[in-house]
Amino acid sequence: MHSASETSHISPQAEQKSPVSGAATGSRTRPKGSSREPSGIQVQQTLTVCTRCRQRKIKCDPGLPRCSPCEKANAQCEYFDVTKRTIVSRKYVVWLQHKILQLEQELAILEAEDRELDSELAVRNPGLVRLKESEETKFLGPSSGIAISRVVMNLAKQFSDSKSIKQIISETKVKAVEEQFAEEEAIAVPENPPTPMYSEAPAVDLPSRDLTSNLVNLFFMKVHAMYPMLHEPSFLRDIDDVYHGGSQDAFKNFALRMVIAVGLQRMDKQFAALADAYYLAALKFLEEVVRLKSVQTLQAYALIAAYSLLTPTRTAIYYVIGAAVRLAEALGFTDEATVGRGSRGQPVDALELDMRRRLAWSIIVMDFGLAHSLGRPSAMSVNQEDINLNFFEIVDDEYITPQGILPAPGPSIKKWISMHFFKMRLLQLEIRKALYLKKRPEPIDDSYPWFLQMEQKLIAWRDASPLEDTGTGLDKAWFNGRYNTMVVFLFRPSPQVPKPSSKAALKCYDAVQYNVLMHREQMRRRNVETTWIFVQSIFMAVNTLLWTLSYEEVRRLHPRPEVEGYLDVGLESISLSAERWPGAASAHDLYLNLIEAVLKVYEKDGDITISADS
């Protein structure tokens, strides 16, 4: 007789016959009233009695591909599949077992490939940052450096054998840092006026003429050397028109107050609230200037962007630059074929042509800089060949007139500096396109010839940088620092090459150790503007230094005391930047815990594999 349940459980002996144990067709036993298996309970597989044994009323067993009675009789062994409502051969069960084995092998291969892709995911996935629960989430892409921050945190978890970053930075510590950040924010957020950084109301009166002259000179020296957005002689005449002629021209009044605001920014942090007062005063004239849709409108956008680089403003710089790029393209200023034409197709004069080129280049470079720093799309094309626009004249503004370009004794150092800075942005664009955007067939690692060619371009750019700075602070050391930043951008983990070689890591270490010392020296000498991009570069240097420690070769050549010295310098720079940017002090405290965890890598041997799990 057959069993009462008319089913035969698969025995251990039968499991040994099959390639994959426990795999068979049939029903799955479940507790009554349950529609799904509880977690952790193993499902028992069963086989239905074959049709031949059922008809003969003899005991059947779960043998595969045939039961024992069918095997002895050399008969076909089949059973009725209730689900399919048809008779199925037991050979089908064997086929299923082999199929499962094949799929498991394929899955193992795919999982191995996924592990290889983990490091790419760690650097390709964007960051979504929100400083407060009530704030809108901010997008940061791979080129922003957010990716290497994620990599460093994952490395910290590995080095400290922690499963979560919360095990490295305790809830108590996080709460203390959040309270500290709130205190810093209360000193710096516009919603809490009057404050050291923000003004409650716009400035009513202009400063004295002498003070304005000093502020204008400071603007020309510190800002205009990088972004030549104004024609200096023309602007000086505009100032006289406002001070002595009582001009009510919207652009003249806007530009004057913005230059005063930016100049006050550059003087000292104690003038931040006063600078904000003139910024607010300038905004009253902005709407009329925007309606002009001309060179003056682009100048207004560029002045707002210059102010926003140094102070957290009420106006989002990303949107301002986006509007400026769209306007520059609509006016035809970004193409050499149209930049020299007036509204009716007539040629424009030499001064107008030069200003159009200067404004277009300034806006384009600001756009590329923001896209690079935030890891966001740029409004302009990422193909350099699509930028068909000549550079502006490389002489001082006094030699650029509506009638033509006058003979000059030599090139302008300030114009040379700005052009060299613009060329740096184009090099960054080339790297970003190759390594940080769409995945390409090559390069697949940093041994490809493209890396050598790109590195040679960077070296040529560094060697061609101006030797003098004429008081701008953009000296040879500054350009060397920017060169090192591009070296890191080239060789650190990227979506295209997520696992750089130890040689690449050593290049990054050498670059950031120079920059860490340079940043601290620049801040001590006060010859650099503490822009948010500058603060970001400090964070990137510290993060990159920590990442390089995952390579045994870096640890072998650079002992722990040396690395700790550089990290202390980097933390000092972060503390100094807190005077201008809220939140840096709390970031300093979080770095203390992160660094302590990462430095435990010196207790381990070999290279450390980066995981994308967070």
Span 286-318, pLDDT tens digits? 999 999 999 999 999 999 998 887 766 666 788
pLDDT digits (tens, 9 = 90+) for 23-63: 333 333 333 333 333 333 333 346 789 999 999 999 999 88
CB atoms within 10 A of CB 442: 11
Q: Pick 101 or 6 by higher pLDDT.
A: 101
- Provide the pLDDT for residue 119: 54
The C-alpha atoms of residue 167 and residue 156 are separated, in whole angstroms, by: 10
Query: Which of left, alpha, beta for 526 (phi over 0: left; psi -120 to 50: alpha)?
Result: left
- Provide the pLDDT for residue 18: 39
The runs of H, that is alpha helices, within 125-170 are 146-159
Which 3-state string (H, E, C) describes 430-480? HHHHHHCCCCCCCCCCCCCHHHHHHHHHHHHHHHCCCCCCCCCCCCHHHHH
Residues 6+ apart with CB under 8 A from 383: 433
pLDDT band for position 16 (cuts 50, 70, 90): very low
Taking the whole predicted model, whether its pTM rises above 0.75 is answered as: no
- Provide the pLDDT for residue 38: 38
Looking at residue 4, the DSSP 8-state letter turns out to be T
- What is the rounded radius of gyration, in angstroms, for the C-alpha atoms of the chain? 34
- Provide the pLDDT for residue 183: 45
Looking at residue 7, the DSSP 8-state letter turns out to be E
Residue 172, token pair as written in the block: 């108590």
Residue 484, token pair as written in the block: 């090192």
pLDDT digits (tens, 9 = 90+) for 238-288: 999 999 988 999 999 999 999 999 999 888 777 888 888 999 999 999 999
- Provide the pLDDT for residue 22: 36
**Averaging pLDDT over each range in 78-82, 495-499, 559-563, which range is the top one?**
559-563
At residue 473, φ and ψ (nearest 5 deg) are 85, -10
What are 129's strand-pairing partners?
A: 138
Looking at residue 41, the DSSP 8-state letter turns out to be P
Q: Pick 171 or 236 by higher pLDDT.
A: 236
Q: Where in the chain is the domain with CATH 4.10.240.10?
A: 7-98
Average pLDDT across the chain, whole number = 80
- Provide the pLDDT for residue 113: 59
- Provide the pLDDT for residue 372: 84
- Provide the pLDDT for residue 145: 59
pLDDT digits (tens, 9 = 90+) for 482-531: 999 999 999 998 888 888 999 999 999 999 999 999 988 888 877 777 77
- Average pLDDT estimate for 148-164: 65
Asked if residue 124 lies in contact with residue 152, where contact means CB atoms within 8 angstroms, the answer is no
- Provide the pLDDT for residue 181: 41
Asked if residue 531 lies in contact with residue 580, where contact means CB atoms within 8 angstroms, the answer is no
Q: Pick 150 or 434 by higher pLDDT.
A: 434
Q: How large a percentage of the chain has pLDDT more than 70?
A: 77
The C-alpha atoms of residue 527 and residue 469 are separated, in whole angstroms, by: 11
- Provide the pLDDT for residue 124: 55
Smallest CA-to-CA distance from 92 within 105, 84, 13, 106 is with 84
pLDDT band for position 141 (cuts 50, 70, 90): low
Minimum mean pLDDT among 111-115, 120-124, 373-377, 536-540: which range? 120-124
Which CATH class name applies to 7-98?
Answer: few secondary structures
- Provide the pLDDT for residue 188: 41
- Provide the pLDDT for residue 337: 92
pLDDT digits (tens, 9 = 90+) for 175-187: 444 444 444 444 4
pLDDT band for position 376 (cuts 50, 70, 90): confident
pLDDT digits (tens, 9 = 90+) for 426-435: 999 999 989 9
Asked if residue 57 lies in contact with residue 2, where contact means CB atoms within 8 angstroms, the answer is yes
